[in-house]
């Protein structure tokens, strides 16, 4: 059915048909999943990048994300075919390169294909692509020979989304970086400082100036509907923990961290109360940043 609708180019019907097909799939049947995933990848090659196809493409990419989640839950011996050989190899033997099973090879194919959609005209497609990359990278976390190169290959595109016109995409990009920090903190440390931090710093400073003019009630009422305010809240709550996780190597960068979060202690306490409390709570993860500890 997916192939037929793809060839007929019946755009309005494809999302609902695809969702119906996915509901019928036994996700424990890898052979059945393999056929569906291959067709989803072919759909990405078939459609043009425009707003009209956004819902279709996002639906397909969500399916690929679900597959990546499934792969992340596979035991290691179902991710690497020669895992037993690697465990039993003699210390003097040459390192045995992991031989991936087809699900993990497919995850890599998905990541390579999805990366190009991060610059889609559709915010739905960009956001779905970011979530798919997050799940795909996480699925590879136990295979460092594949994980680190894919982090490298997707990094530049990922960082660009921190300045996306859609705040939801910025949030998804940041959350992917958070997960990467849990797995390869030393690998992304300098990249974070030079590439990601400038975007986040600019956003926090600009939003802090706006939030100073908002009272607590308006913040509470708009919290769930204002993505920009939600992202600011996420950063205030988690950024310092992320900084502590990856470490910091530059005094200049550390001083910038201090200056940015210090802005949330300035101005009327009532106006910034909610975000200020999030900053205070997070500062315990990195005491060196807390300028208020001696106040």
8 or 154: whose pLDDT is higher? 154
pLDDT at 88: 53
pLDDT at 223: 45
DSSP SS3 for 100: strand
pTM of the model: 0.82
Taking only the tens place, the pLDDT of each residue in 93-144 is 556 678 899 999 999 999 999 998 999 989 999 999 999 999 999 999 999 9
Of 253, 254, 258, nearest to 279 (Cα)? Answer: 258
Which are the contacts of 261, defined by CB distance < 8 A and separation ≥ 6? Answer: 204, 236, 239, 240, 279, 283, 289
Q: pLDDT over 70 for what percent of the chain?
A: 71
Contact 269/216 with Cβ under 8 angstroms? no
User: 155 is written with which tokens?
Assistant: 């990094």
Burial degree of 8 (CB within 10 A; 0-12, 13-18, 19+): exposed
Taking only the tens place, the pLDDT of each residue in 220-270 is 445 444 788 789 888 888 887 888 788 765 677 777 877 877 777 665 645
Angle between helices 123-139 and 102-114 (to 10 degrees): 150
pLDDT at 68: 93
pLDDT at 292: 38
Contact 72/138 with Cβ under 8 angstroms? yes
Taking only the tens place, the pLDDT of each residue in 68-89 is 999 999 899 889 987 766 555 5
């Amino acid at each position: 059915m997916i192939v037929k609708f793809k060839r007929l180019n019946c755009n309005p019907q494809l999302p609902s048909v695809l969702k119906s097909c996915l509901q019928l799939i036994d996700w424990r049947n890898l052979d059945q999943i393999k056929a569906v995933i291959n067709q989803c990848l072919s759909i990405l090659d078939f459609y043009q990048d425009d707003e009209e196809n956004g819902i279709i493409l996002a639906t397909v990419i969500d399916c690929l994300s679900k597959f990546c989640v499934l792969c992340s839950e596979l035991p290691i011996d179902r991710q690497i075919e020669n895992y037993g050989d690697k465990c039993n190899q003699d210390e003097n033997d040459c390192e045995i390169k992991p031989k991936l099973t087809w699900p993990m090879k497919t995850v890599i194919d998905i990541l390579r294909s999805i990366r190009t959609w991060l610059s889609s005209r559709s915010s739905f497609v960009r956001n779905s692509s970011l979530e798919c990359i997050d799940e795909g990278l996480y699925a590879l976390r136990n295979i460092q020979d594949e994980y680190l190169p894919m982090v490298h290959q997707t990094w530049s595109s990922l960082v660009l989304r921190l300045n996306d016109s859609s705040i939801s995409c910025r949030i998804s990009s940041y959350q992917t970086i958070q997960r990467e920090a849990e797995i390869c903190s030393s690998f992304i440390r300098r990249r974070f400082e030079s590439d990601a931090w400038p975007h986040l710093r600019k956003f926090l400073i600009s939003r802090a100036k706006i939030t100073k003019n908002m009272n607590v009630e308006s913040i509470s009422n708009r919290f769930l509907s204002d993505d920009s305010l939600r992202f600011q809240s996420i950063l205030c709550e988690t950024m310092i923990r992320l900084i502590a996780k990856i470490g910091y190597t530059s005094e200049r960068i550390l001083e910038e961290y201090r200056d940015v979060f210090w802005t949330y202690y300035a101005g009327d306490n009532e106006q910034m109360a909610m975000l200020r409390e999030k900053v205070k709570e997070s500062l315990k993860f990195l005491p060196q940043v807390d300028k208020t500890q001696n106040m």
